Chain A
Amino acid sequence: MSATPVLSPHGDDHAHHDAHYAPGFFGKYVWTHDHKMIGLQYLFASMFFGAISGLLAMGVRWQLGFPGKPFPIIGKFLPHNIVGPDGAFLPGGYNMLVTMHASIMVFFVIMPLLIGVFGNFLIPLKIGAGDMAFPFFNELSFWLFMLSGVIVVSGFWSGEVTGAWHHLTGSSLPPDTGGAAAGGWTSYAPLSSDPAYNTTHYGQSAWAIGLFVNGLASIAGAFNYITTIVNMRCPGMTMFRLPLAVWSLFVTAILLLLAVPVLSAAAAMLWLDLNMGTTFFSGRNGAGGDPLLYQHLFWFFGHPEVYIMILPAMGLVSEIMPVFTRKPIFGYRAMAFSMIAIGFLGFIVWGHHMFVSGMNLVASAVFSFSTMVIAVPSAIKTFNWMGTIWKGSIRFTVPMCFCLAFVSMFVIGGLSGIFMASTPVDLFIHHTYFIVAHFHYVLFGGSLFALQAAVYFWFPKMFGRMMNDKLGYWNFWLMFVFFNLTFFPMHTMGLAGMMRRIADPTQYEHLRNLQPLQKFISVRAFGLGASFLVFWYNFFWSMKYGEKASSNPWRSTTLEWTLPSPVTLHGNFPVTPRVYHGPYEYSIPGMEDDYLPQNVPMRDVKRTAGVEIPAH
């Protein structure tokens, strides 16, 4: 054991040193190089952004369910470019709500939760490394992310800020009505890029700058993850012994590295169009730009982005399911290869967002074909999860409940995607509430449910305490029921012709008929919002008062569970571990315990029957 080479930068020699190293508050919580603390920084930051974004969603639902009625309680206190004097939302304000809800959810909640939190926290622990390959870039990435979030959100006060600037300096900056970006999270040019049409000039500029900075953070994170996974696996940890969560984050990091620069370019060009008089995306005669160029750039990023937001969730679920079925994951290699396939195909399907954009019709047909093909690896994964619970021994813990719900919701989201992959059907349901239902099933029922599972599952490793079970079940059932009541009716509403991003559906005769359903959905959406309060309460309560956790409360096999809870040592492993087999060795016949940790060699285990375990 002692002869194993030390791969971590904080290996044996430093471990001893680190144990005595006591950084101050700043060095421990603000500018730390410890990947675990950076993961927690991401966790708290994205919970904060999630609260903002969730409130925006409540505003959206209020306006759709009760158009023109003052937003209760806080309506009167909102800026006057969002609400009128009576506290009811203005159409422009509503556009800001939908834009910012989606932008924040995508870039500052789901992505950092999946990649920032669990990428940072789990990768080194699971591969037996002391830290990330580039701890400095890791921390830099977090603060760039924070900065970008603040820039994007600050758009809400851009009117006030520029007004004050104008007042103080007497500068000739054009005054602005202010408010955050309001062109949808996709910010299609030229509405977003042409100052003549954009009514929220500064908010939109902040959006573009924020996304650019966020891109830097993502790239810094991505190359860090790739380097870490390729170079810093502990001895014995071959690629096909990697836990699937690490596989998923590996593929995700590659997608990030290839896709995000394209978004950065698009955001930079948008900003130049808006502020410097360039015409990259202008549709004006003689300007030489093309609005479709923006869409191609955006969706060339945007589609891999969709998989960036679901692949890690799939990985986390694949990680948790075997633990609570006490059974190896079904088809490990099929799982890994289907993720690689998704990663590859994810780059050639972006055109399916643009079937009806005015793009070449034959191109639409081709993209339709590739989109149908990309559904196959997702189907494979679903069947493999079902294979995993087949003849298992299922423990219905809170994380497992969320995982089971994830698979079910992901099936619904996947099946509704087939409608839109078919070009002629998309001709009808494009940009309706059908697609809103679809992506909420994938992003909320999919990614967010997986994240809930992951938080409940790794909470003991993060804070050394268990989350409360009773509150956890309340959290699960409320969220599961309200989620479905909120988003399932949106399918039929879309089929009935309800459009996306309409501030006041009662303007249309045929949508007025849907108003009872709108109210129904809105009330349930408030219930869904309230179910997050249970989660928050449970989270913070358990941090302080939760039951103390043992090092391996779930009796799991991967390396992080060989360490104490919480993992206190910067450098993680006092001795670099060695790995002997794959990550999901549960219920091996003839063994007394029903799990075999990755770092325990088979020869050390007493067994009554001999069964070969795959060497991978």
Chain B
Amino acid sequence: MSNIAAPRQVFQPGFRSVMTTPPPRFLARFCPSRRLFSLALAFVALFASPAGTAHAELRDYNMWWTPKAVTTGGHEIDLLLMVIFWLTLFVFIVTQVTYIIFIVKYRQRKGVKAVYSHGNNKLELIWTATPAAIFIILALWSDREWLQLRGKAPDNALSIDIVAYQFGFHVRNPGKDDHLGNYDQLWIEKGTNDFGVDLKDPTSRDDYASENQLTLPVNRPVNIILRSEDVIHAFYVPEFRMYQDILPGRKIDWVWFTPEKIGHYALACNQLCGNGHYNMQAKIDVVSEDDYKKLVAEKSANAEKARAEQDKAPAATPAPVAAVDVPAASPSPSPSPTVAPVVAALGR
């Protein structure tokens, strides 16, 4: 009886195979010639060198890490981020170093056969249970933080109303009464009533609007109310560690944070929203409490004056929408899309 009976004839040695030849020098195992290796090394060195970054005029900006967190919630997120970072870095180093040691140590060697082993159930159990435990702890911690970060805003929070549109942000601040006038998605009329404000509500008279500009007092909780006029946009400020999609037809009122550092930041739309998306941004100024009070006094006086003038000329005022409790009775501002909006869209 031969060594292997039937299929012997189909095992031609053929290919001058790494499978049958004796092991080569270490380097030559994965690189056929020394010249090639040094060439490749030179090539890698050329491209790996930070040549592209040499002329960077790096000011105090660290492009290799996160910007500083400037909100209270941001620090909690940073803590979690750092824990995960060090944990994954540890696992990364341990696994990759072990892996490389294995690769070097267990390379093909003359006269050394691979160990015949189909596995080890004890080991399987260990490396199932350990990551599972770590992941579950991480998940529980994350969920706790999450529900706190996204919980109800404190009672003394400053409410600010944002309506996003293609391509910008309408911002409405409460005036000196510190209270946003009553509003609803159904009352929005583009151009005349961008926020859907109930014009009959007396607390709405001192609210003032601004375009692509958000001014916040420092050290006071801010509750941002997010709505969209058309497509999905997003509220994204890296320094605030805050991202939230803004959906049309839905009011999102759980975004809140406490800015704790005076400065200028950028609010960016971070959900692809059309051709102008790349530049849909707003300025955020975090100012001292006194500055904020001054600003509010000035702006809400202007707003009240404007409203008073509007009242004097009733013809120009859009009819305030009253009946809202019955959705069926409310006029639908937009008919279902037909060819007409398609043609209208060409103007964009």
Contacts and interface: CB of A to CB of B under 8 A. Distances in A.
A290 B345 CA distance: 21
A392 B115 contact: yes
Interface in B18-56: 18-20, 29-33, 36, 40, 43-44, 47-48, 50-53, 55-56
B53 A520 contact: yes
Contact of A175 (B1, B17, B120, B346): B346
Contacts of B275: 90-92, 95, 182, 199
Given A466-B15, A600-B5, A474 B114 contact: no
B92 A390 contact: no
Interface string B236-268: 101001111111111010100000000000101
Interface string A349-386: 00000001110011011001101110110011011101
A420 to B, nearest CB: 10
A198 B345 contact: yes
Contacts of A407: 99
Contacts of B231: 188, 190-191, 194, 197, 283
Nearest to A183: B272
A195 interface: yes
A331 interface: yes
Contact of B55 (A500, A516, A614): A516
Contacts of A287: 249, 332, 334, 336
B341 A196 contact: yes
Contacts of B236: 431, 499
Interface string A388-418: 0111111111000100100110011001101
B81 interface: yes
A291 B232 contact: yes
B156 interface: no
B12 A190 contact: no
A81 B268 CA distance: 25
A393 B149 contact: no
A191 B272 contact: yes
A283 B247 contact: yes
Contact of B17 (A291, A408, A554, A597): A554
Nearest to A502: B278
Interface stretch (B57-65, B175-183, B203-211, B293-301): B57-65
Given A361-B147, A408-B96, A428-B81, A517 B7 contact: no
Interface string A514-526: 1011011001100
Contact of B232 (A182, A188, A497, A592): A188
B106 A393 contact: yes
Nearest to A330: B119
A175 B234 CA distance: 31
Contacts, number: 454
B230 A428 contact: no
B346 A177 contact: yes
Interface residues of B, number: 143
A292 B249 CA distance: 10
Contact of A190 (B1, B230, B333): B230
Contacts of B108: 393-395
B63 A496 contact: yes
Given A290-B249, A358-B244, A562 B10 contact: yes
A199 B348 contact: yes
Interface string A491-514: 011011101111110011110011
A22 interface: no
A478 B37 CA distance: 11
Interface stretch (B130-138, B213-221, B305-313): B130-138
Nearest to A380: B128
A391 B117 contact: yes
Contacts of A430: 243, 270
Interface in A581-616: 586-589, 592-594, 597, 599-600, 604-606, 611, 614
Given A286-B334, A376-B128, 12 more contacts: A90-B275, A284-B333, A286-B327, A291-B247, A389-B99, A393-B107, A396-B107, A424-B80, A477-B31, A508-B281, A553-B15, A586-B114
30 contacts: A91-B276, A197-B166, A283-B231, A285-B249, A286-B327, A291-B232, A328-B116, A368-B146, A371-B139, A383-B123, A384-B119, A393-B112, A393-B114, A394-B107, A396-B30, A411-B92, A419-B88, A425-B81, A425-B142, A492-B65, A496-B63, A496-B238, A500-B270, A504-B278, A513-B59, A547-B15, A550-B14, A588-B116, A604-B6, A606-B3
